[in-house]
Amino acid sequence: MKTLATFGWKLLFSTVLVATLSLTACQTETLSGEEQGVLTTAPTVPAAITRNHPTKVIIELETTEEVKRLADGVEYTFWTFGGEVPGKFIRVREGDLVEFHLNNHPTSKMPHNIDLHAVTGPGGGAASSFTAPGKGTTFSFTATNPGLYVYHCATAPVGMHVANGMYGLILVEPKEGLPPVDKEYYVMQSEFYTGGQYGDAGLQPFDMSKALLETPDYVVFNGSVGSMTGDNAITAEVGDRIRLYVGNGGPNLVSSFHVIGEIFDLVYTEGGTIPNQKNVQTTLVPAGGSAIVEFTVDVPGTFILVDHSIFRAFNKGALGMLTVHGDENEAIYSGLQEETVYLPEGGGVQEIQADTPPAPVAQTKQERMEAGARVYAANCAACHQPAGEGISGAFPPLAGSDYLLDDPTRAIGTIVNGLSGEITVNGETYNGVMPGVRLSNEDVANVLTFVLNSFGNSDGEVTPADVARVKSSH
Ligand code: HEC
Ligand SMILES: [Cu+2]
């Protein structure tokens, strides 16, 4: 009897539960109002949506073709959504009706269209948005599925349109919104395939054969080398919770996204809506895909964003910075506590191979300076820092270095042969190892001339003949 009664109650209870659930599922929110979508340029993200109902959102996006900076001294004809690479960040709410206007600037040479992975329909919108130069097209879609989606151009040859910069992100916020955080940023990785090699100066053409082989010269965050470093770094305060919307435009490579010195507390794998993994070091971001990562910054400093396919980070440009300001927390991170000398047998000065091809011959001091700036950026800045300021205790400064300016000829030997053992620069003692950098006489002359006349230094010129003399006297 008792069993039967319990069973009866359970039955009643589950019937009520099922009825309630199906009622919620059937409730479709009604669309009301209309607004203009606010689009932002990376690394900025539009503000979170506060509406509690879907609306009609009008999005206007313009495609352009323009020459912009890919790296220092290197230019590229980018094809863009909104004038920048990556394209503008679009943010709508689940259930919104999006009226999409794609306008192709009259100066474009190519037609373009848009495939938004957030669209359910042929070509993700591409079938309805083929837009010739000087024309505009309109189509509408309902943002049925929440998530972080890539959009890209899908005009033939598709690979070339994507390789030239035509991609961006659209976030469809779930109805219930995303948990609030202190800072949100937009980071998108992609590759460039250029006629010349990494660092080769001038306007670089697209190289189809490298694209087919999937061997890019550049792998970058937010469209260019250095777009997120130094003064362009993204920032936060100690204690902030940070959410990064990470996309990968490809066209070919998968990104192993990692932040040096941080652990992702939460990852929405592949840009879906379930925060399905905690405590992640590196997350995969597929080509044409995304990920949302969240973490709290506990200590101040510079945290480096990389594709952990590490040559891409340190040799092809896939490196960004997050600068965190605030008070130290020595319990979480002590900083250096002790340094001792460790000299195993067989250790010695090593050599690193420079990755710049022989530069064209510089005639004037001005040409030497320009060529030298590129050699510096590619071979010296990683240690001595972009403005030659060095890093106290590790890499001596070249800016105002009394050691260097006392004897510039000695510096030729330093570059060619490397340097180790104790030296004093501007009163501070250094005892590090600088590997010899394998550069042509021309490049050594150029980089030294550049250093001797930059960063506040203002003296001297070194010629290839000077370098040859030092090499032969060795
Ligand atoms: C891998 C890091 C690294 C790279 C790359 C590097 N250096 Fe150095 N450099 C050092 C270190 C470390 C020292 C100090 C060595 C010592 O303590 O004996 C040094 C010392 C020097 C000095 C003498 C000290 C001073 O401040 O005047 C000069 C000049 C110099 N480097 C120039 C260059 C130039 C030019 C390049 C690029 C062609 C370059 N270095 C690349 C690490 C590096
Ligand atoms: Cu296109």
Which atom number of ligand 1 is nearest to the Cα of residue 354? Answer: 38
Superfamily of domain 356-472: Cytochrome c-like domain (1.10.760.10)
Give residue 110 CA to ligand 2 midpoint distance, Å.
7
* Class of CATH domain 183-325: mainly beta
Q: Using CA positions, which residue lies closest to atom 18 of ligand 1? A: 420
Q: Which atom belonging to ligand 1 lies closest to the Cα atom of 390? A: 26
Rounded to whole angstroms, the Cα distance separating 377 from 391 reads: 16
Atom 11 of ligand 1: nearest residue by CA position: 434
Q: Whose alpha carbon is nearest atom 9 of ligand 1?
A: 434
The residues of the chain that CATH labels 2.60.40.420 are 34-173, 183-325
Q: What is the pLDDT along the chain (474 residues), one digit of tens a residue?
A: 444 444 444 444 444 444 444 444 445 789 999 999 999 999 999 999 999 999 999 999 999 999 999 999 999 999 999 999 999 999 999 999 999 999 999 999 899 999 999 999 999 999 999 999 999 999 999 999 999 999 999 998 999 999 999 999 999 999 999 999 999 999 999 999 999 999 999 999 999 999 999 999 999 999 999 999 999 999 999 999 999 999 999 999 999 999 999 999 999 999 999 999 999 999 999 999 999 999 999 999 999 999 999 999 999 999 999 999 999 888 888 878 777 777 666 545 555 555 555 556 778 899 999 999 999 988 888 779 889 998 887 789 999 999 999 999 999 999 988 888 899 999 999 987 777 777 899 999 999 999 999 999 988 899 999 999 998 886
Question: How many A from CA of 216 to the centre of ligand 1?
Answer: 29
CATH code, residues 34-173: 2.60.40.420
For CATH 1.10.760.10, the residue range(s) in the chain are 356-472
Residue ranges around ligand 1 (CB below 6 Å) = 379-380, 382-384, 395-398, 401, 403-404, 411, 414-415, 419-421, 423, 425, 430-435, 437, 447, 451
